[in-house]
Structure 1
Amino acid sequence: MLRKLLTNGHIRCARRFSSSKAIPELTKDRYNVKRGEYSLLTDGHMAFFMNLLGQNRVINDPSECESYNIDWIKNVRGQSRCILKPRTTEEVSKILEFCNENKLAVCPQGGNTGLVGGSVPVFDEIVISTALMNQIESIDEISGVIVCQAGCILENIDQQIGEKGLMVPLDLGAKGSCHIGGNVSTNAGGLRLLRYGNLHGSVLGVEAVKANGEILDCLSTLKKDNTGYHLKHLFIGSEGSLGVVTKVAIQCPTKPKAINMAFLGVESFDSVLTTFRRCKNELGEILSSFELIDALSLDVVTGHYKMQSPIPQFPFYILIETHGSCNEHDEEKLNRFLESAMGDGVVLDGTATNQPSKMKQLWELRESITQGLLMDGYVFKYDLSIPIKEFYAIVDVMNEKIGKDAVRICGYGHIGDSNIHLNLSFKEYSKEMHNKIEPFVYEYTSSLKGSVSAEHGIGFRKSKYVHYSKSPAAINLMQDIKRMMDPNKILNPYKVLPESS
């Protein structure tokens, strides 16, 4: 029987910086990286930054610098002794011009919520934090286009434009702390890409500062603009390696008047695929999310956080969300779909709701997995695009390869766009386990014609594995573009691309 309401019980979302107190090894030591030929920071350099920004926006106290040097999952750690906090594009321009002339490496940083080490220094790069660049400059209620600075927090944007009847076409578990500039720079995907597409389609324009300090104004607010090359796409997904994004123009859809959700239990991955195919056929235009959670992923939040699942235990769970304009119509379609799927025995149990508080509880079950896994110990996290029929096979393969040594091997993610989040947790980091997992996990992904990075970017941790997804010619062209736009290689070095030969 379909459950119409969640079972009683309080579900809490525990989003913290990290569950572990341990400070990770320095990146240079764990990964044996050689420092590039960059200048060392001097008192003269610091005097320039102090004069430009003032003492309050230049951080050089080691204890205050620490949080900017460590990623939130505590996997990588740099040694920056200078954190700069500009407020304007012009200040970013002057910083980069100076750094380029003096060959000082820089690391752009937003909310520091990345999972691949792209937003923290590897050595002593100067961190340019966008935290104070947090203004929404315009909201066009007719076209739905907003223009904002790169440091705006995703959730804050969504709340402000929500008052105008709009929504950001991007929703992430880290929305309370991630910056829109970082989202654009990594081409973040999120929970509703199935409905609203990726940022290459939603971002109409960007303003970015090149390595030499030149401001590039591609801040178009037009849906159609076929004037020459689409230069904005150089910065969407390039992770600050070609320029620092300072402003973005985003096409925002109308906020849905009707939202419905269902949380279902099924026996096998084949049943997940059958349910997805049925969802697309029967829910069509209102389907906004289709998320997979396996049993061990749900166990993370029911075990570590004592959250309560609304249905009994199953090997796989499915979270479905619909967005529409007529609740009576959407609820009827969803109920008809659920009755049919359960009547055929494909879906074994489930709950459906359109109450905001209960929908929030369902999303917290899904969104708390990433953080909860850190409580297992050390976690190797992989964000992969794999053809949908083989979506879950990699979990079984890794279980067979190293299952006896792991605390947990689990998979969850976005079935709607073939993006699985594979997680392998251990009591502590081990170089031996690292070598067993990598590069095998990328070789296997490549053998299925998948992508080594679906939505989290390449960052530092995947730069040497790009060749598993891109041809030598494509990598050479990307390196040519990098050399042209950043000849001194000061922008986010050691990231995104392998070192050119």
Structure 2
Amino acid sequence: MQLLQYHRSFAATCLRLVRYASTAASRNASFAALEDTDTNFFRDVLGDSNVITDIDALQPLNEDWMGKYSGKSKLALRPKSTEQVSKVLAYCNDRHLAIVPQGGNTGLVGGSIPLFDEVILLTAGLNQVISFDAVSGTLVCQAGCILEHLDNQVGAQGFTMPLDLGAKGSCQIGGNVSTNAGGLRLLRYGSLHGSVLGIEAVLADGTVVDTLQTLRKDNTGYDLKQLFIGSEGTLGVVTAVSLLCPPRPSAVHVCYLAVPDFATTQKVFVRARQKLGEILSAFEFFDQQALDLTLKHLEGVRNPLPDTQTPFYLVVETSGSNEAHDSEKLQGFLEEVMEEGMVLDGTIAQDSTQIAGIWGIREGISVALKHAGPVYKYDLSIPVAEMYSLVEETRHRMAGLPVEVVGYGHLGDGNLHLNVSCQRYDEEILKHIEPFVYEWTAARKGSISAEHGLGQMKADCIGYTKPQPVVQLMTQVKQAFDPKGILNPYKVLPQVMAVAQ
């Protein structure tokens, strides 16, 4: 009870930051307004073509891909080197101009979108692969490199990126690192806190912090790179990263399973870990509502089990180096869970086309939700046994409202994606979701942000997961790295605390 009282009192001080909320964050009056002299300075540093002032060109940069968050920036900058980023930030710091780093703009919490007139700093121009060591599998590249392009490059030399996302064709590695993106294979490769070996970042005053090493072991002092991973551009702008890439698996198998209830999905997961062991690389689940929505709104998506309808579906992937061995293990696992009645029906993909088809369903859910209309998205870490209970309770709360509640996610790491699809953003609908979702998660010692970050959506809700002394310590770190608060303001930390600096 004391924990919930703390969460509620902390949340009561919060200001809603999203566009559809009844109240909005207020612009920090200490930030300077953009002037012609500022634009002229940036033109001198970057060149005319890399200074964007055209209203039409700025429009997509001021809005997220879901159409949920929007800002009013009048200027976007596209540096092409760390030196240029340093000059831009040093100038903005002196002038007290707020700035928002933006990569592929594929985020889901408004982290790369300005709230007001902040300058947008695009990292797309930082798109060079610096080096790749084919012995250790160490990649060094600039922040603007697209994830899928990197995977293709290291794949040609027998390695794979330790991260796989549905947005891999447009997201950038700097943004991935800055948000500590999780993805589909965290079960196998872990988080970026373990895969990132080094970072180059530029602080608010233009100081370049270079920890861009490729060493597996370095126990010299504080591991500062970890502070930048997941800080969402509030401590510094990541300009380059070094990552450890695992060997590319030569044998990949995927099966698609129909399961009668959520309790059984957990039993299947336990059995998968026992029987598949070291080759298990992904274990995803989604409900019937998610499948129906995806089949309805995405062309070319096919149901692998068209004659089976059940509340839950699983995508299980193995990745190894021995085709015959891995195939035999997966076949044995599937036969066992079906004989015991845990799986009602299932199929194993026979080739790369079928593998892509199965993953197309799972990866297409988020896109299908966007096509269906506005959506309230929640990304939560919850004890696995209770994950789907939140979906059910949310449906119960919203009975009679014109919404569709969808649940899916990474069962292997306890990450639930709760989505409420509707026809328009509506304050009445929001009242049925928040703060209920956050309070429910906090009561189970879960996290309100599993992999999407806090951005502007949940900055003022951090207290549901982190105790106040921890948030205060985060604020002190922010003040040490960015004393004037110009880097990605109104994000990650509660505005009431951030403004206090």
After TM superposition, the score normalised by the length of structure 1 is 0.94
CA 1:59–1:29: 2 relative to 1, 3 Å? farther
Of residues 161, 178, 181, the one that matches 1:185 is 178
Instruction: Say whether the 8 Å CA contact 2:256–2:316 is kept in structure 1.
Output: yes
Match status 1:145 vs 2:141: no
Counterpart code for 1:452 = I
How far residue 484 of structure 1 moved from its aligned partner, in angstroms, is 1.1
How far residue 436 of structure 1 moved from its aligned partner, in angstroms, is 2.2
Match of 2:405 in 1: 409
Match status 1:453 vs 2:449: yes
Counterpart code for 1:423 = N
Q: Following superposition of structure 1 onto structure 2, how do residues 4-43 of structure 1 map, counting pairs within 5 Å?
A: 27=19, 31-36=23-28, 37-43=30-36
Match of 2:71 in 1: 78
Instruction: Say whether the 8 Å CA contact 1:149–1:247 is kept in structure 2.
Output: yes
How far residue 237 of structure 1 moved from its aligned partner, in angstroms, is 0.2
Match of 2:370 in 1: 374
Match of 1:482 in 2: 478
How far residue 31 of structure 1 moved from its aligned partner, in angstroms, is 4.3
CA distance in 2, matches of 1:89, 1:83: 17
CA 1:314–1:266: 2 relative to 1, 3 Å? same
Of residues 294, 298, 302, the one that matches 1:308 is 302
Gaps of 5+ in 1: 1-24
How far residue 425 of structure 1 moved from its aligned partner, in angstroms, is 1.0
Gaps of 5+ in 2: 1-16
Q: Following superposition of structure 1 onto structure 2, how do residues 420-431 of structure 1 map, counting pairs within 5 Å?
A: 420-431=416-427
Match of 2:439 in 1: 443
Question: For each residue in 1:23-69, what CA deviation from the matched residue of structure 2 results, as whole angstroms up to 9, or x when unmatched?
Answer: xx994986411101210000000000011111100100111100000
Instruction: Say whether the 8 Å CA contact 2:20–2:427 is kept in structure 1.
Output: no
Counterpart code for 2:474 = M
Q: Following superposition of structure 1 onto structure 2, how do residues 211-230 of structure 1 map, counting pairs within 5 Å?
A: 211-230=204-223
Match of 1:102 in 2: 95
Match of 2:11 in 1: none
CA 1:354–1:326: 2 relative to 1, 3 Å? farther
CA distance in 1, matches of 2:102, 2:235: 14
Match of 1:19 in 2: none
- Secondary structure of 1:221's counterpart equals coil
CA distance in 2, matches of 1:195, 1:404: 41
Instruction: Say whether the 8 Å CA contact 2:281–2:318 is kept in structure 1.
Output: yes
- Secondary structure of 2:493's counterpart equals coil
CA distance in 1, matches of 2:339, 2:416: 29
Match of 2:281 in 1: 288
Instruction: Say whether the 8 Å CA contact 1:26–1:78 is kept in structure 2.
Output: no
Match of 1:251 in 2: 244
How far residue 190 of structure 1 moved from its aligned partner, in angstroms, is 0.2
Mean Cα deviation higher: 401-410 or 362-371? 401-410
Instruction: Say whether the 8 Å CA contact 1:290–1:414 is kept in structure 2.
Output: yes
Match of 1:13 in 2: none
Question: For each residue in 1:313-372, what CA deviation from the matched residue of structure 2 results, as whole angstroms up to 9, or x when unmatched?
Answer: 211000000000001000000000000100111100011024111101111111111011
CA distance in 1, matches of 2:445, 2:382: 7
Question: For each residue in 1:133-177, what CA deviation from the matched residue of structure 2 results, as whole angstroms up to 9, or x when unmatched?
Answer: 111100000011000000000000000111110100000000000
| CA RMSD across the alignment | 1.2
Counterpart code for 1:249 = S
Match of 2:488 in 1: 492
Match of 1:265 in 2: 258
Question: For each residue in 1:56-107, what CA deviation from the matched residue of structure 2 results, as whole angstroms up to 9, or x when unmatched?
Answer: 0010011110000000111110000101000100000000000000000000
Question: For each residue in 1:377-401, what CA deviation from the matched residue of structure 2 results, as whole angstroms up to 9, or x when unmatched?
Answer: 2100000000011011100010111
Instruction: Say whether the 8 Å CA contact 2:253–2:327 is kept in structure 1.
Output: yes
Of residues 214, 228, 232, the one that matches 2:225 is 232
- Secondary structure of 2:400's counterpart equals helix
CA 1:30–1:134: 2 relative to 1, 3 Å? farther
Mean Cα deviation higher: 295-304 or 244-253? 295-304
Instruction: Say whether the 8 Å CA contact 1:376–1:407 is kept in structure 2.
Output: no
Match status 1:363 vs 2:359: yes
Instruction: Say whether the 8 Å CA contact 1:259–1:354 is kept in structure 2.
Output: no
CA 1:375–1:30: 2 relative to 1, 3 Å? farther
CA distance in 1, matches of 2:55, 2:158: 44
CA distance in 1, matches of 2:220, 2:427: 50
CA 1:143–1:397: 2 relative to 1, 3 Å? same
How far residue 403 of structure 1 moved from its aligned partner, in angstroms, is 2.9
Counterpart code for 2:27 = R
Of residues 308, 320, 339, the one that matches 1:343 is 339
Instruction: Say whether the 8 Å CA contact 2:18–2:24 is kept in structure 1.
Output: no
Counterpart code for 1:381 = K
- Secondary structure of 1:345's counterpart equals coil
Counterpart code for 2:34 = L
CA 1:415–1:49: 2 relative to 1, 3 Å? same
After TM superposition, the score normalised by the length of structure 2 is 0.94
How far residue 407 of structure 1 moved from its aligned partner, in angstroms, is 2.5
